[in-house]
Structure 1
C-alpha cells in the first residue's frame, strides 16, 4: 500500500530552520531535501488585494484556497495552501501549506483516488505542529466532497456548462503541448468543480498526469496544466501568452473563440461526468496501453460505450471500424465489437461491412461472418443502384453459378425499382458485371425506361451523367430512345425543342438513320447548343428539305434570341452561300436589313461590316435588299473607297459631308474610326483648309485639331504632309466660324510649334503663313532666331580651346 510523506510550510517561530520566519514547521522522517525544495517552489501564496488584511476566521474563510498537484518523474506532490493572515510578528502575508509527497503517481493502489478529490478533504490542516516530526499517511486517503454526482449537479446548475467540451479539448491540448489552461471563477470551490469535471472525463492515465493549482494570484508565472484564479487576480500573460495560455473566464463570461473539438471530447461530454467512470472501467478491456492522444482513445472508448448500450454517432462508429483491423490485442473480443456495431447500426457502407466481416472471422464468429458477407453482397448491388456515396462499382462475374444468381437478383431488383435512376443504374450494373439478360426483356425495359425519361423534367446531374453513359454503352437503350423520340414527335405537335431537352439531346446524328423529321429537329437543337454552327446547320436543313432559301419560321427557330439577328459574320456567310440568281424569300431581306442596321462599336466590327457590305453589293444579291438598305450599302462602300482613293485631305472631308454619314451606323463608324487618321495621312490644301474646316462639324473638327496637335508635338523634322495641315490651321484668324474651344486648341498648337519645332521648320512655316498673318510669321522668325542664337552660344562654349597662358588646361 502506498504511503504519503507530510510537510508543513508556514511562517512560524519554531521549525526546521531554528529561527522564526517562513520555514518547514514539521515534516515526515523520510522527506528529502529535493522534496522540501519542490514544496517550497509550489507553496507560495498571494491573497487578493481586498483580502490581504484578513485576520478573523470569517474573512480568512473567504480567501481562495489553493489545492496544488504536481506529478513528476521524482514523485507526486500535492499541497493545500490557505491564507493565514498575520504571522507571529503580526505581519500580514502569512500562509500555511500542508503538503503530501509520494513516489510515482496517484495510481489505483493509492485508493483509486484522483488528486482533485482531495479538495476540502479532512486530512488537510492549517495548524502548526507541536514538534518537527510528522507521521506518514497510508492509502487510502480520505476524500473530500467532490464526486461524479456532485460535479454533475454542479454542471446542471451552470448556464455556462456548454463550455465544458471546449475546456476539456483545451486540457487535452495542454497535456500534449505542455501548455496551460486558466480558469477564472468567483470562488475556488467552483474552480475545483471545473477541475474535477475535466479530471473525471480525461482518460484515467492522462488524469493522473494532470498538474493543477486551484488558485494563483499571478497565473502567468506558472506552467501547470490547469491554473485557477479569481477575478481580482493579475492574468497578464505577456506578448506570447495567447499561444501558451488558454483562458476560460466563467466569472465574466469570456471564453476562447469557438473551435472544432475532437470527436472523443464530444463522446465523453455526451456520456457525462455522472456516467463516465463506468465507461472508463469498461475501456480498460479494450485499450492496449499505448494510447496517448484523443485519436488513440476514441475507438476504445467508443467500443466500450457500444458494449454498454450507449448510442454512438456515425463518427464514433467509423472510428471503431477503422481501429478494428489493427486491434489484434482484443482476441475473440474483436468479434463481439463487430456484433455490437452490426446489430445497432444498419446504415453501414460496403467497406465498413467488409471490415466487420473480417473482424468477425478473426474473432472466430463464423455465423456473424456469413451474415455479414450476405448483407455485403446485397448491399453492394443496392448501393450502386441507388447511387450511394462511395458505392463500389460492378466487377465482371465469370463463374456460371454466380452469374445465374446475380442475373436473378438483378431482374428482381429491376422489377422492384421505383425510381428512374435506380433502373438506369441497374442497367449499368448489368453491363459492368458482364451479365447477358434475355434480349426481348432487355429491349422492352429499355423502351419503357426511354419513354419515362422523355417525360422527366427534374433529372439531376447524376441521372443525366448515368443516362449518358447508358446511351453510349448499351445499343438497345440508344435505339429505344430514338424510337421514343419519334413517337413523341409523331403524337404531339409543338415538340420542336425536344432534342434540346434531356435525354433526347444525348442522341447522335447517326442514331436517327434516315428520318428527315428527326434530323431537322436534331439540327435545330444543335444550333441552340452550338451557336457557332448555326449557319452550317441552316444549310443542312435546307438540303434535307430540298430548298435553296429559308423562310422566316426556320430563321426564327434557329436564331431564338430575344431580338433575332445575324452577326456580321453569319450574314456574310449566308450571303455568299445563297445562290444569287435565285429569288430569295421575303424574310431574307428583312434579316439582312437588321444585320445592316446594327450598331458598330469597334474597329473589328467595322471590318466585319464592310465585308458583309461587299458581299451584298455583288450582282444579284442587292436585289434581296430593300431600297433604303441598298442605298446604305452603296453609300458606305463609296465612303470607304474615298478613304483609300482621295488625293487631298479637304476633298476627303467634303466626301463625308453628306446627311447619310450621320444617319446610318456604318458611315458613322467610318467617320468615327477612320476619317481623322486618313485626313492626316493626306496632304492638305492649306488655303482651302482655312475655309473648309468650319464645315467639318464640331466633333470632327475637335478630333482633327487634337490629333494634329499631337502629331505636331514631335521636335524632329517635319514632313510635307504634316506641314501642309499645320500651315492651314495656324494661319486661321478670328473671322473663321469656329467655336471658342477650337480657337483655344489652335492657340495651343501655335505655342507648341514655337517651342518645339526646329529653326529651319519655323522659318519655312513663317514663309508659308506670311500671306495670311504677317505678325504670326514675324513671331515664328523671332522664335527661330532666338533658338538659333542660343545654339551658337552653346557651340562656342563647347568648342572653346585652351589659351596660350594656360598650356596645361584641357579643352572643355
Structure 2
C-alpha cells in the first residue's frame, strides 16, 4: 500500500527555492512539480483583519484553521491543513504554514477508510519548519481527529439552527451535480468542520469521496470548491453575480436561502440521522448496482436498506422503492425480501403497487408471498370496481376452475355486503365480465330484486344510469327481471302510464315486451315523448295493437303533451293520409284537425306546410272528418292560393283578397303577407283600376306596393311593359277620388319627379302615351320631357316644376 507524500509550505529562510520567502520548506521524495503546483494553489491564507497581527499562542489559536481537500480522481487526492503562524523569520506578519498530504490513489482506501474531513485536528498535522528539505512519506492508516458520527450528532443537538441541515445537504447534492459551491459561515472553523462532517456522513460514500472543501477561506468567491467555510470576522461579501454560483448558509447571523429544492432522499437521510447512517450505508451497498449518481438514483436503494433495518418509510420512499424494484434485476433473490419488507409494513398500497410487489416476489422465488399478494390484488380489484374507485380496472374472464370457484364465493359474499343499488349493479357487471356461472335461481332472484329496487328509486345519477344500461344490454337475466318488475307495477298500481319514461324502464326495448300489449302501448307512449319525430308512427302502432281505426282524445293527449296546438302541419298531414278515408273518426280528431289548420303561420315554410295539409284534407273521404268552419277555412285557403297562381291582372288579384276571413284565420293572412305583393308585381296592372282602387288595398298592402313600385322604377335597368303599367297607374292616381295618406302621396310625387329626371327619352315617351287616357296635361308634360331629354334634362325639370309640382297629386290642375 502506498503512503502519503508530505509537503510543507511557508515563508522561511531555508527551503527548496534556495532563498528566503514563501516556498516549500520540505517535501517527500516522490513529490512531483505538478503536485507542488497544486498544493501551492490551495495553500494561500488570509487571516481576518482583526487577527493579522497575532503573535502570541493564545491569539494564534483563535485564528481560523483551513482543512482543505481536493479529490483529484486519477491524479490522486490532496489534503492540506493551513494555520496562521503570524510572523516570518523577518518578523513580518502574514505568514502561514501549510502541511499537505498527497496520495496517488483514492483517498479513502489508502487512509484506512476514513473521510478527509475526519483529519480535522488530527495529531499528524504540524506547523513547524523542518530542518531539512526532505521528509518521509506517512504510512496508512492516518490518525483520526476528534470528528465522528457521534460528535456530529451531539453538535447538531446543541446547534440553534440544526433544522437547516436538510437544506444544507440538498444544496451540497446540487453543488456536486452542477459544479456549484455552498458557503457555510459560522463562529469558528471547528463548528464549520462539524457541519462539513455531518454532510459527509450523510452523503452516499462514493459522492462523499468526490466532495471538495475548505473549512476557511477569507475570500470565498475566489474558490470553486464544493464546500467553503468562512467566519464572520472575514466579512465575506457576495454580489448579485454570485447568487447563481454560491449558496450561502450564515449560521452565525441566522440568514439562509429562502428556497432550496429538497429531494425525498435528503429527507430520508436526515430522518435516519447522522448517528445511524453508517450502518444504513453498509446495508445500502447490498442494494446498489454501482451506477448511482443522482439523489434519484440513490433514493430507492437507501430506502430499501433503511426498511430492512427497521426505519419507517414515507409514501414518497415507498413509491421510489416500487418504481425501482421492477427493474432491479441485480438484487436476485433479495427482490422478494424487499417486497416482503414493503408489504408487511405498508398495508394501504394500491393495485399497481401490489402488482409490483407480486412480480418482485415471483422473480425473487418467494411463492408463498407471491400467492398472498395475488389474492390481495384480486380482492382489491373487485372491491375497487364495485365501490367505484376512479380508474379501477374492469373485470376480465376467469378461466381456471380454482380461481373461478374462489371468485364466485367472493362475489356471493360481496353481494351480502353491498351498501347500495349501484354496488349491486357493479357486482352483476363484474360477474358477467368475469364470465362466472352462479346458480341460475340465485342469479334470477338477484336480478328481479335489484330491478324492483331500481324502479322504486329516484334521483339516479348519470353513472348509475350508464351502468344499468350496460347491465340491461349485457345480461339477459336482468333484462327479463326488469320486464317482470314493470309488469308488476302496472298490475298493482294505477296511474303508471309514464313508467317507461322513467329510469330504468326506459332501457327496455320492444323485443323485451313481446306478447304484452299493455306494456307495449306504454312503452310507445314513452318513446313518443323522447322522440317526438316518431309520434305519428307510434300512434298508428298503438291503434294497430288496439285494433282501432281512429284515436280518441285520451290517446292524443297522451302522445302530444306539449301546449296546444299539439299537431304540427306535418303531423296533421301524415295522419290525414294514414287514416282510412271514408271511415268515421272520433270527434277529438276533428277538433285536432281544426286546431292544426288554424294555428299561426310563422314563416314561408309554415305556409307551404299548411297548403299541403289543406290539399290533403280536401281529398275524397277526408273533408267529412272536418267541422264546417274548418272546411270553410280550408276551402278559402285553397281558393286564395289558386288565385295567386291563376290571376292575370294585379288589381283583380288584390280584390280577391278583400274578404272577411283574412282577419279571422291565420293561413289566409299568411298568404296575403308572404305571397300577394310578389304576385301582384309579377302581373301587369290596369292603370284605370289601379289609380282608383289603390286606397282599397289597405294601408299595409298599399304601403308595401307603392314602395316596391318606386324601388323598381329607380333600380331597374329596363322598363318592361309590366313595370310601365304599375308606374302609370301610380303616377295617374286621382287624388280627388282616392283618399291616400300623406306618406303615400309623397311616394307618388317622388316617383313622378324621378321618372321625369332619370328615365330615358324613349321610356318617357312610352309613359306619356300610357298616361294620356287618364291625364292629358301630365302626358303632355312627360312628352315634352321626352323630346328634350337629351342634353336639356335640367331645363325641362325646372319647367315642369314651374308649370306643376310633381308632388301635386292632381295633374289635371297643373
Query: TM-score, normalised to structure 2's length?
Result: 0.67
Tell me how far apart the structure 1 counterparts of residues 214 and 652 of structure 2 sit (CA, whole Å): 101
Shift of 1:37: 10
Shift of 1:593: 1.0
8 Å contact from structure 1 (residues 447, 481) kept in 2: yes
Which residue of structure 2 aligns with residue 737 of structure 1?
Answer: 741
The CA deviation string for residues 566-586 of structure 1, in whole angstroms up to 9 with x for no partner, is 333223222322345413233
Where do residues 470-509 of structure 1 align in structure 2 (5 Å cutoff)?
470-509=471-510
Which residue of structure 2 aligns with residue 549 of structure 1?
Answer: 550
| Secondary structure at 1:510 match in 2 | helix
8 Å contact from structure 2 (residues 768, 782) kept in 1: yes
Decide whether aligned partners of structure 1 residues 415 and 55 sit closer, same or farther in structure 2, where only a CA change above 3 A counts. Answer: closer
| Secondary structure at 1:566 match in 2 | coil
The CA deviation string for residues 696-736 of structure 1, in whole angstroms up to 9 with x for no partner, is 5357735862686278535x544433444455557779995
Shift of 1:642: 3.1
Where do residues 746-765 of structure 1 align in structure 2 (5 Å cutoff)?
746=750, 750=754, 754=758, 761=763, 764=766
Q: CA RMSD in A?
A: 6.7
Which residue of structure 2 aligns with residue 393 of structure 1?
Answer: 395
Tell me how far apart the structure 2 counterparts of residues 653 and 215 of structure 1 sit (CA, whole Å): 113
Q: Is 1:705 matched up with 2:707?
A: yes
Shift of 1:520: 1.4
Segment of structure 1 superposing worse, 548-557 or 660-669: 660-669
Tell me how far apart the structure 2 counterparts of residues 236 and 682 of structure 1 sit (CA, whole Å): 92
Tell me how far apart the structure 2 counterparts of residues 248 and 679 of structure 1 sit (CA, whole Å): 96
Tell me how far apart the structure 2 counterparts of residues 412 and 640 of structure 1 sit (CA, whole Å): 76
Shift of 1:274: 10
Shift of 1:336: 1.6
8 Å contact from structure 2 (residues 336, 361) kept in 1: yes
Tell me how far apart the structure 2 counterparts of residues 749 and 431 of structure 1 sit (CA, whole Å): 89
Segment of structure 1 superposing worse, 322-331 or 68-77: 68-77
| Secondary structure at 1:451 match in 2 | helix
Q: Is 1:368 matched up with 2:369?
A: yes
Where do residues 86-235 of structure 1 align in structure 2 (5 Å cutoff)?
235=240
Unaligned runs of 5+ in 1: 10-15, 46-53, 59-65, 82-93, 788-812
The CA deviation string for residues 355-395 of structure 1, in whole angstroms up to 9 with x for no partner, is 32332233243432332344345445555555554435232
8 Å contact from structure 1 (residues 550, 585) kept in 2: no
Shift of 1:181: 11
Decide whether aligned partners of structure 1 residues 248 and 704 sit closer, same or farther in structure 2, where only a CA change above 3 A counts. Answer: farther
Where do residues 308-319 of structure 1 align in structure 2 (5 Å cutoff)?
317-319=318-320
Q: Is 1:340 matched up with 2:341?
A: yes
Shift of 1:441: 3.0
Where do residues 722-733 of structure 1 align in structure 2 (5 Å cutoff)?
722-728=723-729
| Secondary structure at 1:583 match in 2 | coil
8 Å contact from structure 2 (residues 70, 212) kept in 1: yes
Where do residues 640-679 of structure 1 align in structure 2 (5 Å cutoff)?
640-657=641-658, 660-661=661-662, 664-679=665-680
Which residue of structure 2 aligns with residue 48 of structure 1?
Answer: none
Tell me how far apart the structure 1 counterparts of residues 601 and 43 of structure 2 sit (CA, whole Å): 88
Decide whether aligned partners of structure 1 residues 398 and 329 sit closer, same or farther in structure 2, where only a CA change above 3 A counts. Answer: closer
Where do residues 17-28 of structure 1 align in structure 2 (5 Å cutoff)?
none
Higher-Rg structure is 2
8 Å contact from structure 2 (residues 643, 653) kept in 1: yes
Tell me how far apart the structure 2 counterparts of residues 753 and 140 of structure 1 sit (CA, whole Å): 122
Where do residues 273-312 of structure 1 align in structure 2 (5 Å cutoff)?
283-292=284-293, 296-304=297-305, 306-307=307-308
Where do residues 226-265 of structure 1 align in structure 2 (5 Å cutoff)?
235=240
Shift of 1:338: 0.8
Which residue of structure 2 aligns with residue 511 of structure 1?
Answer: 512
Tell me how far apart the structure 1 counterparts of residues 273 and 347 of structure 2 sit (CA, whole Å): 26
The CA deviation string for residues 675-713 of structure 1, in whole angstroms up to 9 with x for no partner, is 443333223345555555554535773586268627853
Tell me how far apart the structure 2 counterparts of residues 713 and 224 of structure 1 sit (CA, whole Å): 92
8 Å contact from structure 1 (residues 759, 784) kept in 2: yes
| Secondary structure at 1:739 match in 2 | helix
Decide whether aligned partners of structure 1 residues 396 and 142 sit closer, same or farther in structure 2, where only a CA change above 3 A counts. Answer: closer
Shift of 1:486: 0.9
Segment of structure 1 superposing worse, 270-279 or 293-302: 270-279
| Secondary structure at 1:572 match in 2 | helix
The CA deviation string for residues 294-315 of structure 1, in whole angstroms up to 9 with x for no partner, is 6545543543454455555666
Segment of structure 1 superposing worse, 774-783 or 184-193: 184-193
8 Å contact from structure 1 (residues 121, 144) kept in 2: no
8 Å contact from structure 2 (residues 731, 748) kept in 1: no
| Secondary structure at 1:604 match in 2 | helix
**In structure 1, which of residues 574, 577, 597 is the aligned counterpart of residue 599 of structure 2?**
597
**In structure 2, which of residues 583, 586, 595 is the aligned counterpart of residue 584 of structure 1?**
586
Query: TM-score, normalised to structure 1's length?
Result: 0.67
Decide whether aligned partners of structure 1 residues 434 and 767 sit closer, same or farther in structure 2, where only a CA change above 3 A counts. Answer: same
Tell me how far apart the structure 2 counterparts of residues 762 and 38 of structure 1 sit (CA, whole Å): 119
8 Å contact from structure 1 (residues 331, 363) kept in 2: yes
Q: Is 1:533 matched up with 2:537?
A: no
Which residue of structure 2 aligns with residue 801 of structure 1?
Answer: none
Shift of 1:670: 3.6
Tell me how far apart the structure 1 counterparts of residues 572 and 721 of structure 2 sit (CA, whole Å): 43
8 Å contact from structure 2 (residues 710, 747) kept in 1: no
Which residue of structure 1 aligns with residue 524 of structure 2?
Answer: 523
Shift of 1:565: 2.2
Tell me how far apart the structure 2 counterparts of residues 147 and 56 of structure 1 sit (CA, whole Å): 29
Tell me how far apart the structure 2 counterparts of residues 625 and 387 of structure 1 sit (CA, whole Å): 60
Segment of structure 1 superposing worse, 538-547 or 765-774: 765-774
Q: Is 1:454 matched up with 2:458?
A: no
8 Å contact from structure 1 (residues 247, 255) kept in 2: no
Decide whether aligned partners of structure 1 residues 373 and 28 sit closer, same or farther in structure 2, where only a CA change above 3 A counts. Answer: same
Which residue of structure 1 aligns with residue 574 of structure 2?
Answer: 573
8 Å contact from structure 1 (residues 201, 273) kept in 2: yes
8 Å contact from structure 2 (residues 550, 579) kept in 1: yes
